[in-house]
């Protein structure tokens, strides 16, 4: 049932396809804005917010440039990340999704409770075979929940190449906390490489992007500190699993540029505030492969929701986000100071960065990355399902049936390359 092989066949983003994609990007010029102009708009503003009950979303290709080298990204309405969708609990939303790619596409509404036929995972959602090139699929479903969620392609490597966006659902009833303004902080990972190549390299050599494997010197140090028997037993367990304590990420900053709302660490994304305000930050890990450790030096974060669900508020200095998770936190800057939102990848190979500031002329220091952590055996626990229900083992768990007969979507994620 595992569909590990499908995405290779389905994606086929060959070099030639990229070249074709450039021509495709040119087609956007006909819409009034050249692709470079659109890219410039995106850089300044991040994704736009679409509100209401009726949405037209067009999946296409677009020239993007995150590293100095132009590449083709997968976009929605010319935007990477895709537009922020703002719904209202209790409404019925209609989303007409048109696929201008040359391959089948799909949009899966992550964490949204809906009828199976609307779930958007090809061959899993009832009767849904994906959206063929040139076709429009109309999703329509009642919005029965509130909170921070996201959506993404469930076809080929389109999520890795940019097809992901945020969903904010405003609640009918007041929430158990207040805030003055809110921002989406969408973290993601971009690679200039063709994801098909990244995948192929990992199939051949799973450590390809991991430069932090433990060395002989580490071994001698362990023996000195823990003694030979303890070290031996420890290593034996890792070796039996054919893993190591440094198996933090299969794909790292060696190929990835980590993005905050589509902005590179060099540019950074900026959110403005007024001193004394309570700011709700809606963190979403929309990456294909990356776990992030998130902190804002100088600010306590009060986590008020996880994966869209209210939780008993907890105040933290840092939290770890798995792929596809969302966390809502509230921060209250007391000074007219700029703060860095710092999201290091778990392997410390890079970071995503944003700034919260009362004044665009202020800058905040960017901290050094922390040392590479070693995993404990618990971190590699036999439960390979991450917090959001994403299967980290590459197996296919499709959907869960809810008590009322509705399907609670759980992503099948061939794009997680483990
Ligand atoms: Cu998902």
H-type helices in 51-167, by residue range?
none
Residues of the chain with CATH 2.60.40.420: 6-173, 256-357
Distance 385 CA to ligand 1 centre (A): 13
Report how far ligand 1's centroid is from the alpha carbon of 337 (Å).
36
Terminal-to-terminal C-alpha distance of the chain: 15
**CA 341 to ligand 1 center in whole angstroms:** 24
pLDDT of res. 234 = 62
**Helix residue spans in 2-125 (DSSP H):** 6-11, 15-27, 35-45
CA of 109 to the centre of ligand 1 (A): 7
Cα of 413 to ligand 1 centre, how many Å? 7
CA 151 to centroid of ligand 1, rounded, Å:
7
**What is the pLDDT, as a whole number, of residue 59?**
97
Superfamily of structural domain 256-357: Cupredoxins -  blue copper proteins (2.60.40.420)
User: Distance from the CA of 349 to the center of ligand 1, in angstroms?
Assistant: 24
Report the distance separating Cα 272 and Cα 357, nearest Å.
5
Strand partners, 60: 75
CA 403 to chain centre: 29
The domain 6-173 having CATH identifier 3.40.50.2300: the answer here is: no
Spans in the chain with pLDDT lower than 50: 1-44, 381-418
Nearest to 11 by CA among 339, 417, 358: 417
- The pLDDT value given to residue 311: 96
Residue 218 pLDDT: 67
How many angstroms is it from 121 CA to the middle of ligand 1?
9
Distance 336 CA to ligand 1 centre (A): 38
DSSP three-state, residue 303:
strand
The H or E element spanning position 191 is strand 181-191
Spell out the residues 6+ positions from residue 206 whose beta carbon is closer than 8 angstroms to its own: 250
Ligand 1 centre distance from Cα of residue 188 (Å): 13
Q: Is 403 exposed, middle or buried (0-12, 13-18, 19+ CB in 10 A)?
A: exposed
Protein residues with C-beta less than 5 angstroms from the ion ligand 1: 110, 411
The answer to whether the beta carbons of residues 73 and 257 sit under 8 Å apart is no
Calpha distance 316→300 (Å, rounded): 6
Of the candidates 23, 82, 93, the one whose C-alpha atom is nearest the C-alpha of residue 58 is 82
Residue where the block lists tokens 């540019």: 267
* Max Cα-Cα span within the chain: 69
- Contact indicator for 299, 333 with CB cutoff of 8 Å: yes
């Amino acid at each position: 049932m595992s569909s590990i092989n499908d995405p290779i066949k389905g994606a086929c983003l060959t070099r030639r396809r990229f070249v074709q994609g450039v021509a495709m990007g040119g087609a956007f010029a006909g819409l009034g804005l050249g692709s470079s102009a659109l890219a410039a708009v995106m850089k300044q503003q991040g994704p736009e917010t679409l509100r209401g009950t009726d949405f037209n979303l067009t999946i296409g290709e677009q020239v993007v440039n995150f590293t100095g080298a132009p590449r083709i990204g997968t976009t929605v309405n010319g935007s990477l990340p895709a537009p922020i969708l703002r719904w209202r609990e209790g409404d019925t939303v209609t989303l007409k999704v048109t696929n201008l790619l040359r391959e089948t596409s799909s949009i899966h509404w992550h964490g949204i409770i809906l009828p199976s036929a609307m779930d958007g995972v090809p061959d899993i959602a009832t009767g849904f075979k994906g959206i063929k090139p040139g076709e429009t699929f109309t999703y329509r479903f009642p919005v029965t929940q509130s909170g921070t969620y996201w959506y993404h392609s469930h076809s080929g490597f389109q999520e890795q190449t940019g097809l992901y966006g945020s969903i904010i659902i405003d609640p009918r009833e007041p929430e158990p906390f207040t805030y003055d303004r809110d921002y989406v902080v969408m973290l993601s990972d971009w690679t200039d490489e063709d994801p098909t190549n990244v995948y192929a390299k990992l199939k051949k050599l799973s450590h390809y992007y991991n430069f932090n494997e433990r060395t002989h010197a580490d071994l001698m140090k362990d023996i000195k500190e823990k003694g030979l028997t303890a070290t031996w037993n420890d290593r034996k367990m890792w070796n039996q699993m054919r893993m190591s304590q440094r198996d933090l990420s299969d794909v790292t900053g060696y190929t990835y540029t980590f993005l905050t709302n589509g902005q590179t660490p060099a540019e950074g994304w900026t959110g403005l505030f007024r001193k004394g305000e309570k700011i709700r930050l809606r963190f979403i890990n929309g990456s294909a492969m990356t776990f992030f450790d998130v902190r804002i030096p100088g600010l306590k974060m009060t986590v008020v929701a996880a994966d869209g669900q209210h939780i008993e508020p907890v105040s933290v200095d840092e939290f770890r986000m798995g792929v596809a998770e969302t966390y809502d936190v509230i921060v209250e800057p007391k000074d007219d100071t700029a703060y860095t939102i710092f999201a290091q990848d778990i392997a410390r190979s890079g970071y995503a960065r944003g700034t919260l500031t009362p004044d665009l002329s202020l800058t905040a220091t960017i901290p050094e990355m922390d040392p590479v952590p070693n995993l404990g055996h618990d971190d590699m626990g036999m439960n390979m399902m991450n917090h959001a229900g994403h299967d980290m083992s590459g197996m296919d768990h499709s959907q869960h049936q809810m008590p009322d007969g509705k399907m609670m979507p759980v992503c099948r994620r061939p794009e997680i390359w483990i």
